[in-house]
Structure 1
């Protein structure tokens, strides 16, 4: 009986194992059958992709089933093959061409002719000759930026607006707002020059050197900014950077480091008067400050409790310290700079406490740059013009530092008689500042002296630096007061620049035209420095200096242009 029951239990166990296996095989079989049926419904679709422009096959065209990642690409002959369901839609896409979606509809051959994108056809580059050419027809590399990219993040200098947006171009600023900005195309090529490119604004050449540092007084070197800072970024329509040596051939050796072509905004299409108003404000807020040690006070020996059991450390001579003094916030006392006096006029020791935020407390909490501009434009059959006015003001991070700029731009063309057009582009700039701080090491640089103030001295106590006569509050001989350097030394400047051209174009025939142009780049600058008594670099009652400079460059050119079509061949302008 027991043997019989045991045999029945074994049979039930086998049944429990076999039954799930049967269901699993049934479901697997159904799934396999469905997959097999689906694959049996697919078809092989082949075809050729060609260009509508010249009928040539297109290599590497992406062909994807819409809504999936399944796809292929065309081969060297423009051919493709893909296995798909008969009723799907294929998406054909290729750089520079219009994307197409084609319903297969059961067809086994689908040939496609792709049209060039209108955006690609309109990509015109202004060459060194001032002529618009399709980029693909040029024999050199070109970097391009439009007005939207330049004004996306507002800067007072057009070069800083371009930083990081063009490959092969390195842009660096030597300081804050208004300082010199360097632009190097495809790396430095010379050890004896500044490697700066030639700038051409509406056909007018302009050199923008990085050697624009000057000033009066000992160690009072000031960065007044280079010429490119005179251009208003808001007035720029496009920038083309010509990187190849052949691109700079027209301007000779002065363009050996490349050419940057800047085109200012013109009037739009025909229509009534248009008024544009732009206003923006940028705040520069420091996120990290100079890391200086604030653990030890200034001195010239180590200090311990055993050496000075009463906790009072003898005063030190500030002209002899080396920076390795007593540890702060440890209960030590010492006669420090600006110590209070007792009834007999004797300095009283005070506790040595660290002031880690001296640098932060000295500079302004933020820098503010505000730009406002207004432009009026109009276009008709006879006259097109755009007149713009802008103002930029800046208050810097260094106390008492500022920068201002006014710009006036005018672009106008007029058809005098049929076939004869005259035009002008004028860009007038006035830059000025009441004070540009010194930026070189030591000397009159307020930021460096703010960083050097001993951490046991609260820098805010030095703000009221006037002691009467020619005396200035400092922590000792050989030290400068950063507040005095910021307010007692004023480096002002005024710079006017006129960049303009007048041109006339005569269209002799639809194929032949003649253009004559006269261009002028003129500037004048006045720099003035006033140093109050109290600066150790000028111990003889301060200093005063003023200098003026002028520069002018005129260019005239005549350009004949002939263009015609023979089948698909286009002769370029000569």
Structure 2
């Protein structure tokens, strides 16, 4: 009986328990309605729980009075009381501050940002992808304090400059080191013989070979402490990139995105169309200038021509005879512009397939970008493939592999300081010259035909094989500048865990690419060599092999002190090979690109090989989960230099809000003070520790020594080798704080940094009597100091609506403090050059200037005009007083809006294009007419009486108004070279731009479900839509010298763009 009673009680209790439980189902999504996979759903106070599936769905048995807690990494947790509900759908909001806490170290390992005393910046991969930029670098612009990113111009595939905390070396690259999935990769921007930094074609940034859609995270390590583990490669900072991987789930995830862009030139140089070709008010069809007659004063009849002699017959049959009297009032500014420019565009499509199980995952992607430039016949195509996979073999061994292939091809347009440059022929050309019938046959007075000649505004009959300056249509249609790049990046990592507190990581990778380029100038191109025909072919190959062996261990030293230790060994090997053949003087006047059609050949090649070894260690201490100390050390040896060099670093972080008195503070949610110190370096160039040989040719003797028959000889280079070289060393100190207030609604990061770079490497002049002209030596010092501020504020947030404001600010101050007696070092070599000058910021402008009195006023001549100083000097500084970015984002249900402004304040800009166009008479500023109200002198002393209408402008230089007319603008007040006062080409380079605005909409979830899709996103994005600046006709962000330490100079640089992009992304 007792047994029956007991069984009955048990059954009743089980029944009551079953009665008290119920099934709850639902779906968990993010703020945009996308399913969240793997969200923890826990019944509060119990161990009862589940996770969401690949569609975000869950099902769980709970008690009647249960409360469910939904939590997921990177999102704010949500609690829901079950009550009487059987279905609970939850939307989780991103916790921006929590997301930023997990960062990636210089070695590629995840770290908690709140435990670090060094400074880094997170650039969200989703923000880069949303920007719509075709290149990774441009998509990062404006999104991190202390990071300057500027596109060299608007050509398809053009490279970009990236600089972190100012310049850190004089003669080397300012680019940071890029680490992708734990291995260093190249961001080279090779000029080769495609032109100098000052002219030629735009170089590309190789990091843009990566498909932005493949990026998972981007971490910018700004301070020396954070980057020190990379030793002599880390002076410019480190950018750590991780790529996407598959996620566990019971289905394969497929994502397809497509973007179409419309690109337009964002600024046009203002040109005058009132005055014709010629000088001194007289028309001349062969004049270089447009200081000719007033076009409105012409009769308007057809031009008078001489039909009895020579002429030019265009390919369309139109015949052009010598002009004897210019009567036509027709001008062609818009027609000439439209003949070479168009609306550019690109299609970018990306397909990603990913998935995984309990122990393995994979990610595969295919990307294709096809871009047509705003300049006709300029193009860029990038095709990428990526396969990432990882496998957990057992509890103690895992393997991951990542491989990507990129194929890019492009045709680039000649630009800048280059007689074949696009803008030289277009902007200098006279307003009354029509460029469109540019190609044909020239017939001389004897009737002899010269085919494939070009008409240009200075050779309007094509009567000279050297056109002086190309017709811009010849540049865009006849010149060919193809480049084809094939690149492989492959890496693997094996993790072995022999103990539960120790990991052994073996990581290796290879980055290798070839770049095949040509420059083709058909017979009749501008320039002494191109006019006879030239085919210049170059092949580049860069290969980097990297291996790391790393041991990581985590052990408690006591109940309140923990230690994470890392020790590693790195071997790195880099090779650079360049082979070139320059074929000149074509045998047949044809557009066939074949070496066999050339008379002269000039081959050359370059080979560089360097290798380095590094031993590094990290000790990370955690005291009471409040005070964190990280100590790093790197010992390095390299083939370019004798000996070994040590780079120490340390940082400390104190979370003072862990103090008992601050733990429950209603205002200050989190507070951290940080302090960091570190040393990093710049490795010397290879082979500079010895005196090398160089090839040369004797060509002044008889044919027995003719280099065309026997080749040249070899002699010692006039640059003396230096066996005492050592790395440049940057020592940096920084202090700062990270604060989160008002329940994490407001986040603020503040940093002050100061660094000094010693033993700067550059060429030091020697007395030629010693047998050498220079020696590469450690001979300079430079400093950077500045403040960085990042802030973000959640203005409003509820279940459906969120509004955020964010911004950044920095004000780096650079100073070259010592050059060991060298007056200045050229970074760019033009009439206004960027230089290193002691006592000034790196990149300061150096050129001719006006004579000045002690009070800074001009020393004027008898006519009231400035006079040129016999000594050149510093005339400007392109470095800004400060830079900043301000962003706004809001989302309401499925609709989201993002806006980003960026500003650059206080830097100078060398507007050489405007200044030269003054001399040529084509700029709108010099097309002005003014009626004098008083007698005025010009710079030649000629007096123009009151009431006279003249071409020119009036200015007071300090002794009363004077007339700036043709005489002034073609001498001291305009032009190029050392005869003009180039100081007057310097202007305020400040700018503010609407860098980005994007609107995205997520389609109705019910419709998506019926289509069996996870999500569908539609977007429209604007890039660089509005620009506020005093600089005329050009975007002051572009740079004549391209990707270079010298910046802020324009000289007929190809223009930049503004863009509208339309996108769709489908997830299955």
Contact preservation (8 Å) 1:215, 1:529? yes
State which of 516, 538, 543 in structure 2 corresponds to 1:547: 538
Give 2:905's aligned residue. Answer: none
Change (3 A) 1:287 1:550: closer
Higher helix share: 1
Give 1:442's aligned residue. Answer: 418
Alignment of 1:186-205 (within 5 A): 186-205=165-184
Structure 2 residue 446 is the aligned partner of structure 1 residue 455 = no
Give 1:84's aligned residue. Answer: none
Alignment of 1:434-513 (within 5 A): 435-462=411-438, 464=439, 469-477=451-459, 478-513=468-503
Cα distance, 1:488 vs structure 2: 1.1
Change (3 A) 1:118 1:171: closer
Change (3 A) 1:443 1:213: farther
State which of 357, 360, 373 in structure 2 corresponds to 1:380: 357
**Cα RMSD (Å):** 2.9
- TM-score, scaled relative to structure 1: 0.72
Tell me the alpha carbon deviations over residues 153-190 of structure 1, each in whole angstroms, 9 at most, x when there is no partner: 21111010011111111011111231121100011122
Give 1:226's aligned residue. Answer: 205
Give 2:280's aligned residue. Answer: 301
State which of 243, 251, 257 in structure 1 corresponds to 2:230: 251
The alignment partner of 1:329 has SS state of helix
The alignment partner of 1:223 has SS state of coil
Deviates more, 1:279-288 or 1:251-260: 279-288
State which of 493, 505, 508 in structure 2 corresponds to 1:515: 505
Contact preservation (8 Å) 1:562, 1:572? yes
Contact preservation (8 Å) 2:157, 2:380? yes
Structure 2 residue 174 is the aligned partner of structure 1 residue 183 = no
Contact preservation (8 Å) 2:350, 2:368? yes
The alignment partner of 1:508 has SS state of strand
**For residues 256 and 128 of structure 1, what CA distance do their matches in structure 2 show?**
13
Structure 2 residue 128 is the aligned partner of structure 1 residue 150 = yes
The alignment partner of 2:279 has SS state of coil
Cα distance, 1:238 vs structure 2: 1.1
Cα distance, 1:293 vs structure 2: 2.2
Give 1:331's aligned residue. Answer: 298
Aligned residues: 448
**For residues 382 and 182 of structure 1, what CA distance do their matches in structure 2 show?**
41
Alignment of 1:83-482 (within 5 A): 120=98, 123-176=101-154, 177-212=156-191, 214-215=193-194, 221-302=200-281, 316-318=284-286, 320-332=287-299, 347=323, 349-358=326-335, 360-433=337-410, 435-462=411-438, 464=439, 469-477=451-459, 478-482=468-472
Contact preservation (8 Å) 1:466, 1:473? no
Deviates more, 1:291-300 or 1:163-172: 291-300
Tell me the alpha carbon deviations over residues 499-536 of structure 1, each in whole angstroms, 9 at most, x when there is no partner: 12111111223221111111111111111222111103
**For residues 455 and 331 of structure 2, what CA distance do their matches in structure 1 show?**
21
Cα distance, 1:146 vs structure 2: 1.7
**For residues 195 and 465 of structure 1, what CA distance do their matches in structure 2 show?**
46
- TM-score, scaled relative to structure 2: 0.40
Tell me the alpha carbon deviations over residues 295-350 of structure 1, each in whole angstroms, 9 at most, x when there is no partner: 211211226xxxxxxxxxxx6251x44321111233346986xx766699775743
Cα distance, 1:211 vs structure 2: 4.7
Contact preservation (8 Å) 1:141, 1:243? yes
Change (3 A) 1:522 1:287: closer
Contact preservation (8 Å) 1:398, 1:447? no
**For residues 322 and 77 of structure 2, what CA distance do their matches in structure 1 show?**
88
Contact preservation (8 Å) 1:465, 1:484? no
Contact preservation (8 Å) 2:435, 2:455? no
Cα distance, 1:99 vs structure 2: 11
The alignment partner of 1:553 has SS state of strand
- The structure showing larger relative contact order (alpha-carbon pairs under 8 Å, at least 6 residues apart) is 2
Contact preservation (8 Å) 2:120, 2:219? yes
Contact preservation (8 Å) 2:285, 2:457? no
Cα distance, 1:539 vs structure 2: 5.4
Structure 2 residue 545 is the aligned partner of structure 1 residue 563 = no
**For residues 261 and 234 of structure 2, what CA distance do their matches in structure 1 show?**
34
Contact preservation (8 Å) 2:120, 2:226? no
Change (3 A) 1:232 1:118: closer
**For residues 99 and 132 of structure 2, what CA distance do their matches in structure 1 show?**
30
**For residues 541 and 503 of structure 2, what CA distance do their matches in structure 1 show?**
37
Instruction: Give structure 1 stretches of 5+ with no counterpart.
Output: 1-95, 102-116, 304-314
Change (3 A) 1:466 1:204: farther
Change (3 A) 1:528 1:301: same
Change (3 A) 1:200 1:456: same
Cα distance, 1:359 vs structure 2: 5.2
Cα distance, 1:140 vs structure 2: 0.8
